[in-house]
Amino acid sequence: MQPSHSFPHRDPAGTGKIEDELDSGGGPISAEEEEEIQDYQKLRPVAIYEVVRREGVEELGRPWRSLWWSGLAAGLSIGLSLAAQGTLHALLPDASWRPLVESLGYTVGFLIVILARQQLFTEITLTAVLPVLAEPGRKVLAALARNWSVVFLANMAGTLVFAAALSLEGILPPFVREGALAVSAHAAERGLGAGFMRAIFAGWMMALLVWLLPLAEAARFWVIALLTYLIAVFELSHVIAGAVELFLLMFTGRLGVLEGLGQHLLPWLAGNTIGGAALFALLAYGQVRDELADDGKA
């Protein structure tokens, strides 16, 4: 007896004709293969959207103290990206290929933050905004504002503490500090306009990372490492990781406070938010909006 091989298709018109015709051309498959196909179909775009949206709903409902301590931990952890990248920069020879290798260190902090599920501002820009797009209202907007502000300030506090510790001599080996200063100085060379545009790209890539994680499963480590490695190689502007660099330069007197905040930190914050929350979130919601509307009518 030939196993059934019909699949659950969506039929916006409610006729079932297209699906019936397409299903009639399928070949014989086993029950195990049918189960694998069903599992794969569960992760179509609308399913990925729903996974990320539900995570956003959960994040919007968390107590502010939980957000604060998790965000503080993320700010401290992300500092390891600069420390690791600076170490590789200092220990590798000054060759054309050095940026390709030292950029691997940039992934360290992101791997720790995301795998440990700590609150990183550029990661929650997508997850927290999807519930707002789905059901806009004053209450959810207030929750979004609370979430973003608490997490961002906590991230800043963590990066500030890490940068202060890194600026002191004797806490870490001298080559770590010197390498981190060299990497930070290069990042601060970006002009306001270039930094802002690169921040939009970085925000989009972080949102893309969040979108890919439900599909990654056992490959989560490699997905995180790949996309954050590209952020480093492309010399994009990530406001939280970049804050460690800016604060380090400020603590060592190599960058003024007003210049660091006005020409770098705030433009990077705006760019990351636009790239992650406005650009990618709207695209993510737009591609499933009609399917969600069909579900509501069913």
Whole-angstrom distance, CA of residue 20 vs CA of residue 281: 34
pLDDT tens across 285-298, in order?
A: 666 666 655 555 55
89 and 102 in contact (C-beta within 8 Å)? yes
More confident residue, 52 or 256: 256
pLDDT band at 124 (very low <50, low <70, confident <90, very high): confident
What domains sit in the chain, N to C, each tagged with a CATH number?
A: 54-291 (1.20.1080.10)
- Mean pLDDT, residues 189-197: 93
pLDDT tens across 63-100, in order?
A: 989 999 999 999 999 999 999 999 999 999 999 999 99
pTM beyond 0.85: the answer is no
From residue 213, alpha-carbon distances to 36, 113, 185, 237 in Å are 19, 14, 32, 22
Whole-angstrom distance, CA of residue 1 vs CA of residue 290: 38
DSSP class of residue 15? -
Please choose, from the candidates 64, 60, 201, the residue with its C-alpha nearest in 3D space to the C-alpha of residue 133. 60
pLDDT tens across 135-157, in order?
A: 888 888 888 889 899 999 999 99
Alpha helices in the chain (DSSP H): 17-23, 31-41, 45-60, 64-91, 98-102, 107-115, 121-134, 138-167, 174-187, 192-216, 220-233, 239-251, 257-260, 266-273, 281-286, 289-297
Q: What Rg, from alpha-carbon coordinates, does the chain have?
A: 22
Please choose, from the candidates 214, 33, 73, 93, the residue with its C-alpha nearest in 3D space to the C-alpha of residue 154. 73
